[in-house]
Structure 1
Amino acid sequence: VFVVLNTLTVKKREGNGYYGLAIGLIYAVNMHILGNITGGGFNPAVAIGTAITGMASFGEIFIFMLGTLLGAAAAVTAFQLTAGEEA
């Protein structure tokens, strides 16, 4: 979320076409570093889908969903503190 906010919402980066590369590289790094821990699940919609189809229980994905929400809140807070009036 932090990378997306910094690449897509900061006015001085307007017109820069490299945001897709930045987001893709962060995703690749996350998969490499955290893939064994998360099983490659970085999208909350996928976790909800596994619970709906019975591949996992809602209790099992609760901590994942909580972590996702807390991480997003932390990213937004960090962005607001660091971007200042540029956003």
Structure 2
Amino acid sequence: MAVDDFCKIMYQENQLWFKYYTGHVTNIEVRDKCLTLGTTQILERYTLKLEFGLDVPLRSGRYRIVFQLVSIDRNGVRRKNGVCFEIRGDIHKAQ
């Protein structure tokens, strides 16, 4: 997914990630700061149910997914500050 200006639309309710991420930010005063160095987003506690297929056999148990988000300009140059976060959860085989 590529977005020209994520900061401009990250809190719009019609965006894909709003339901799963930015819609749960409780400190709304940071909405005009985007994801800049020193900005802290506080999320309400909620349950996120993700379902996806893997071609790798995994045993049931606790795992983590690490996300690294970076900005790349139109010339393909990576910008300095990125965002890294992780989600921990339990994996169960779907029936």
| Structure (1/2) with the larger helix percentage | 1
TM over 0.5: no
TM-score (norm 2): 0.24
TM-score (norm 1): 0.25
| Structure (1/2) with the larger strand percentage | 2
Q: Which has the higher contact order (CA 8 A, sep 6+)?
A: 1
